[in-house]
Amino acid sequence: MFEPVRVARAEERRQAVGVAEISAEAEPVGGGVMAFSAVGSWSNQACDVGMRGAVSESDLDRLVSFYVERGVEPRIEVCPFADETLLRGLAARGFTLREFETVLVREIGGDAGGGAVAPEGVELVTVDPTDDATVRTFAEVTSLVFCPPGEPVPGHMLELSERCLRHPRCTGIAAVAGGEIIGGGVLELADEVEGVRIASLFGGAVREDYRRRGIQRALIEARVREGALRGANVACIHTRPGIATERNAARAGFGTCYTKVVMAKQGEGLVPSP
């Protein structure tokens, strides 16, 4: 069993590097990264901060200014293994707790065989990142579940999803039924850190009329197998506590490794980020 702190160092670094590479803007700060894409984008966050030592006052002031200048609330994901100077500095600047995020892991190796298979009539296929039409459809289907009912997917969300699918470390797995994409999920394979090589599973979603058929579980298993075949030894899923993602992951053998807190700073005229 890998120590949680080792997994955290590898996973927080993977997230920071990945978010920086797909965002419109990104700068290093406090050993981590602060990124921004557009007002309302989930990529408007700082992460991996304080994981390699103390965070300076000037770095924290710069983090606040970075987001305020762009009209959004400063927002940061704080790992429990971050240096204590980070929490003190955030508290002094008026950051408050917004939500918890659980990081679930499953050790993998070899072919990670077994597990769930797609139900009859559903096929799991790898998305061709050069097929623009398929990439757009995949992005639309998997992003729609994160939007309020009846509202279209914002352009900035589609753009980020498409960048993820085309990223060289990422692979999209689509669930197809009747010739249509009805769900999918993304796998990112990270570089090794302290002997831990992460296969991160994210963006998993299934169209509402195809839920509760085991498709989400099959998408998890397909990405775990792909990650194991490509040399990962730990699979990782981020989730808010108590939601369907957590339950699906638990059924697939994932367990809690550590829990992060998301903190943000309110300000007049500043827009919160999801």
In a domain, 272, yes or no: no
141 and 75 within one domain: no
The count of residues in the chain is 274
In a domain, 274, yes or no: no
Report the pLDDT value the prediction gives residue 115, as an integer from 0 to 100.
66
- Cα–Cα distance, 87 to 23 (Å, whole number): 25
Report the pLDDT value the prediction gives residue 210, as an integer from 0 to 100.
93
In a domain, 224, yes or no: yes
Report the pLDDT value the prediction gives residue 89, as an integer from 0 to 100.
98
Comparing CA positions, the residue from 259, 12, 274, 2 lying closest to residue 160 is 274
- Cα–Cα distance, 200 to 15 (Å, whole number): 9
The residues of the chain scoring below 50 in pLDDT are none
Is residue 232 within 8 A of residue 197, CB to CB? The reply is: yes
Report the pLDDT value the prediction gives residue 113, as an integer from 0 to 100.
62
| Beta strands 170-177; 180-189: pairing state | antiparallel
- Cα–Cα distance, 88 to 81 (Å, whole number): 14
Q: What is the DSSP letter of 153?
A: P
- Cα–Cα distance, 203 to 181 (Å, whole number): 14
156 and 49 within one domain: no
Q: Which domain holds residue 212?
A: 107-257
55 and 27 within one domain: yes
Report the pLDDT value the prediction gives residue 112, as an integer from 0 to 100.
66
Phi, psi of 7 (to 5 degrees): -60, -40
125 and 98 within one domain: no
Report the pLDDT value the prediction gives residue 99, as an integer from 0 to 100.
97
Report the pLDDT value the prediction gives residue 118, as an integer from 0 to 100.
87
How many domains does the chain fold into?
2
List pLDDT tens digits, range 109-123.
Answer: 876 666 678 889 999
39 and 161 within one domain: no
